Amino acid sequence: MRAADLSELAAFDAVARHRNFRKASEERGVTASAISHAVSSLEARVGIRLLNRTTRSVSLTDAGENLFAHLSPAFGDIGSALDALNNFRDTPFGKVRINAPNSVAPFIFRSVIGKLIEENPKLELEIVATDRLVDIAAEGFDAGIRLGESLRDGMTAVKIKPRLHLTVVGSPAYFEKRPIPRSPEELRSHVCIRNLYPSGKAYPWEFSRAGKIIEFWPTGPLSLDDHELMVEAALSGVTLACVWEERARPFIADGRLIECLASWTAPEDWLYIYYPTRKYLSAGLRAVIETLRV
């Protein structure tokens, strides 16, 4: 097989996984037009249309589906063979793409990025932070980071640091007008932010005492899906916010926010780094996992 043939097949494989020429080009590190040209050359050489293209979408033809089904494990084997060369190096080599929630990514990576790069100088680490629920296999990630409740079947998950939990905060200006709540029930007389997932679906503020979980559903005028915005809203003095404690800690420490209901600590959630169970675990990904794991 010629090198050009393999390059064309790799371009097709990337488009087939992403169903998008731009995303395929970003993964391959070339222009979208180069990817399009490679796929067109492959189709011309085999004499069969592999992709259905419109201005808005890309889909596989039956022939394309068949080729992709055979290519995907083959490229996986090639990647495994290349990564096995790490056994002959002092440190892991190559790119590792990680997807993580934007709301907690700084707290996960701030104390480990330096260590990872320093101890693995040939490792290329790419971290994409978004609170959108991502299909890591379809979007070309080696692994993702999520709360355990959002993991899907077919994934291997490893518990990582830090263990996060939520806290309720308000500003001194807010509490000049209203008393500090002493129980979750008292929140009903307060202005509280409605917490949203990136999908727009609301989720409750959760509390626990004596093993019992209590849910409070805010009905306030403000709905947000970003914890940084929630903190800013609380700092403005017009509302209470339920946010990751790590996000609010600097403002609690300097007195700009007051923590409420500390004796009703919200249930702590473990974060996990996860990857497809059938995926070959590269040396680079192993290094990331070992650095993050509990």
CB-neighbour burial class of residue 30 (10 A; exposed 0-12, middle 13-18, buried 19+):
middle
**What integer pLDDT is reported at residue 290 of this predicted model?**
92
CATH of segment(s) 166-267: 3.40.190.10
**What integer pLDDT is reported at residue 122 of this predicted model?**
86
Residues in the chain: 294
- 10-residue block means of pLDDT along the chain (294 residues)? 73 90 85 91 92 88 92 79 65 86 89 90 91 82 82 83 91 96 96 90 90 91 94 97 93 97 83 82 88 92
Q: Looking at the whole model, is its pTM more than 0.75?
A: no
**What integer pLDDT is reported at residue 278 of this predicted model?**
67
Delimit the CATH 3.40.190.10 region(s) of the chain.
90-161+270-292, 166-267
Delimit the CATH 1.10.10.10 region(s) of the chain.
3-84
SS3 call for 158: strand
- CA angle (51 as vertex; 49, 53 as ends), nearest 5: 115
CATH architecture label of 3-84:
Orthogonal Bundle (1.10)
Query: What is d(CA 247, CA 257) in angstroms, rounded to the nearest whole number?
Result: 11
CATH of segment(s) 90-161+270-292: 3.40.190.10
